[in-house]
Structure 1
Amino acid sequence: MPRILFMAGHRWPDYATVLPRALEEAGVAAEVSPDLAPDAVDYIVYGPAGDPAASDFSVFPRLRAVLSLWAGVETIVANPSLTVPLTRMVDPGLTAGMVEYVTGHVLRHHLGMDAHIVNPEHHWANRAPPLASERPVAVLGLGALGAACATALVSLGFPVRGWSRTLRDVPGVACHHGPEGLEAALGGARIAVLLLPLTPGTENVMDARRLARLAPGAVLLNPGRGPLVDDTALLAALDSGALGHATLDTFRTEPLPREHPFWSHPKVTVTPHIASETRPATASRAIAENIARAEAGQPLLHLVDPERGY
């Protein structure tokens, strides 16, 4: 019987019932607990509380794999004590939540809804927005989340350009890759959505030069990772009018410090890292499926490549 350490701090009450049930439904008889002796642990379900770099996986001599509850693994992938396979979370609930957030905020900015929701002077601006087909959207990152969001936007009529570090094929999306492809994807886009993983190659990917590639007055959405954006360059672009608005869900420091200029900037919407959340019911089924595969001697799904960082 495999023993599974739930190493995700305060989240255990949310998983205490649904994870054992999902394992049973997957045909895995296992012991799951947040409190197991290190020499008894076969698998770790991981969602760090506190400093993830402080986690020492070398104390688990039987450890076979670490299964992340998060889609992003930048806080753990470089841990030198992690020598077993690491999987990232690909969860239908996580994907659905991100699609809802991205499409909602894209439509919000496309339709100019803010001007009607907050209109203290009762200004009658009798001018309809353009159709979606006239507003190109760039989606940076075409993994599970990015591809799903890009597909949803295509279904609404937006011309979508996607970019990834390696070439992807997403039906209806003009897919680009590599440095030249990034410039092409961003060029003249009216809305840009950031859904890249955070790696040394993607940090500050939206710097002053890349922000300037967008159409004048464009909107930036970042539900991906805070360090994808150069904050100083972003504020400068907003202040100059080169960028019309930024809706930000992820930040370099979280919670976002109360004194940070994003909070008070009239062209910034702060959402508190709620674009999408790992849902215990669907995440538990994803974890159970992977452990069942491992127990059957099959390859794990959604393995992280340590060289690429995701």
Structure 2
Amino acid sequence: MPVNILFAARADQWRIYQAPLTKALLEQGVDATLSTDLAPEDVDYIIYAPDSAVQDFTPYTRAKAVLNLWAGVENIVGNPTLRIPLARMVDHGLTQGMVEWVTGHVLRHHLGMDRHILGQDGEWRADAPPLASDRRVTVLGLGALGEACARMLVRLGFPVTGWSRRPKDIPGVSCLSGDAGLQAALKAADILVLLLPLTDETENLLNAETLALLPQGAVIVNPGRGPLIDDDALLVALDRGHVAHATLDVFRVEPLPAEHPFWAHPNVTVTPHIASETRSETAAQVIAENVRRGETGEPFLHLVDRENGY
């Protein structure tokens, strides 16, 4: 009997994912009916985007798992009707995209590229940047994305400090955890990269108090979650020059409203949530693998810890 899989996301996403999912399920040997319209009581798996119309999971009485299309799960993990396993998206295409974006912007700030790209005014700016070994980078968040970015930055020669809630051990990275570890990680950040999940504990993690721990002239790069930063506190730190620049890809409200002061601030770069995208071809492979595992009794990959929120 075919496995019934409900695709619960926007119609434009169905057009993008239908063919890659069909192909990936066939490659995994899964006989599946994949549809956007199935009776809830017949559904075995739900491929899900948190902006889906499906918000009540109670009718899906035989479903074995919800397979999230997004890396972030903050908009679903607290749903009280969701009582079956939830898997987040850990996709090598998404990871590679994040590594490329983070590496590019860290190098941009390390090399001072803006001075030359934007400063074509006839002035000969001969000041060379330090080597990577003299520029300290801190990565807050050492999940799949944070670890991949930290490893790449180490390969480029940066001294990298990483911080996570739970202890980690990554070759070449000075891994810290806990409150004292967070303070030390911030103090060691000439360039700070934010790749934490959004939870009650991480919201406004960068506030007036913690921003003050950064070295004078530090740079912030945030492709993680907008609410990790207190916007008002960041603007104060930028105006005072304590933070030299902030490159922000994520925001509390998206699209970022035209009247938001980030747009006009000379020391803020806004990018429109493009640091990394779930790629349909590679994401489909992750989802198909989890369906295969569910059907053969193997443990699901990338399960969300409900207590920790990610």
- Where does the alignment leave 5 or more consecutive residues of structure 1 unmatched? none
Deviation at 1:33, TM superposition (A): 1.1
Post-superposition offset of 1:64: 1.1
1:251-290 to 2 correspondences below 5 Å: 251-290=251-290
| Equivalent residue runs for 1:121-200 within 5 Å | 121-200=121-200
Q: 1:63 Cα shift?
A: 1.3
Deviation at 1:120, TM superposition (A): 4.3
Alpha-carbon distance in 1 for matches of 2:243, 2:149: 22
Indicate the SS of the match to 1:59. coil
2:18 aligned residue (16, 19, 22): 16
Preserved CA contact (<8 Å) 1:19 1:288 = yes
Deviations 1:127-157 (A, max 9, x none): 1000000000000000000000000000000
Q: Distance in 2 between matches of 1:297 and 1:278?
A: 27
Rounded Cα–Cα distance in structure 1 between residues aligned with 2:75 and 2:186: 28
Report the residue type matching 2:285 in the other structure: R
The alignment status of 1:4 with 2:5, answered yes or no, reads yes
Check the 8 A contact 1:188/1:213 in 2, yes or no: no
Give the aligned partner of residue 30 of structure 1: 32
Distance 1:256 1:92 in 2: 28
Kindly provide the amino acid, as one letter, of the partner of residue 14 in structure 1. I
Deviation at 1:119, TM superposition (A): 1.4
Equivalent residue number for residue 238 of structure 2: 238
Q: Give aligned-pair identity as a percent.
A: 63
With structure 2 as the length reference, what TM-score do the two structures score? 0.98
Structure 1 residue 37: Cα displacement: 1.6
Q: Is the 8 A contact 2:137 2:188 kept in 1?
A: no
Q: CA deviation at 1:36?
A: 1.4
Does the CA contact (< 8 Å) of 2:206 and 2:230 recur in 1? yes
Cα distance in 2 for residues equivalent to 1:249 and 1:297 = 39
Runs of 4+ in 1 over 3 A off after TM superposition: none
CA RMSD of aligned residues (A): 1.0
Q: Cα deviations across residues 68-102 of structure 1 (Å, max 9, x unaligned)?
A: 01111000000011000000001000000000000
Alpha-carbon offset, residue 170 of structure 1: 0.9
Letter in 1 for 2:6: L
SS in 1 for 2:15: helix
| 3-state DSSP of counterpart to 2:58 | helix
Contact 2:138-2:188 at 8 Å conserved across structures: no
**Alpha-carbon deviation of 1:49?**
2.8
Number of residue-to-residue matches in the alignment: 308
Provide the secondary structure at the position in 2 that maps to 1:99. helix
**Alignment partner, residue 223 of structure 1:** 223
